[in-house]
Amino acid sequence: MTTTSRRYEPGDLIYESKPYIRVIQRDLWETSCSWCLKQDVELKRCSRCKMVRYCGVTCQKAAWKDHKLECPFLPRYTAGPDHFFVQMLASLILKTKVMTPLKNFQLKRKPWFSNYLKVTEIALKSYLGEENVPNEETLLQLIGKVECNYYSFGEGKSNIWALSIG
């Protein structure tokens, strides 16, 4: 927790940090820089996946640390109904393969959840391939972490540009 004796006005920047994971709305891949979200500028495609675009080398380099994990899979990505969430889970799965896993917590399953879990698992398998999707228990842990921690960026509920964690 952070405490301060300074007085802040609405709109003041108090704290800034890079999210652990951020995914960009599929509709924006063509028209925005996938790092700084700039639009109405000349964009160059990632030469490997040919799915996301950047406004320049600086943004492409900054994004590569995270993008290199999902880059090989993106051509297989299809935007289903829960695509935002699936993409975020996929990024988390790929990232926790190279990072220390986050601490697990106690989960209580609700009956409606098993259907949701099945749908999510199918979407993830078609995107990342079966070999990259963790077992059900781990997947449940990851879903819990995403559900509890994500925040959105955009204009209201209907026009979300990006989802982030951390």
- Out of 21, 55, 94, 128, the only residue in the binding site for Zn ion (CB under 5 A) is 55
Beta strands 44-45 and 159-165, pairing class: unpaired
Smallest separation (angstroms) from Zn ion to the CB of 102: 26
Alpha-carbon distance of 18 to 84, in angstroms, equals 19
Site string for Zn ion, 105-124 (x = CB under 5 A): --------------------
Burial class (CB within 10 angstroms; exposed 0-12, middle 13-18, buried 19+) of 105: exposed
Q: Give the residue with the Cβ less far from Zn ion, 73 or 145.
A: 73
50 token code pair = 């040919």
Q: DSSP letters along 97-140, please?
A: HHSPPPPP------TTHHHHHHHHHHHHHHHH-GGGSPPHHHHH
Smallest separation (angstroms) from Zn ion to the CB of 144: 29
**59 binds Zn ion per the rule CB under 5 A:** yes
- Out of 46, 94, 133, 142, the only residue in the binding site for Zn ion (CB under 5 A) is 46
Site string for Zn ion, 4-43 (x = CB under 5 A): -----------------------------x-xx-x-----
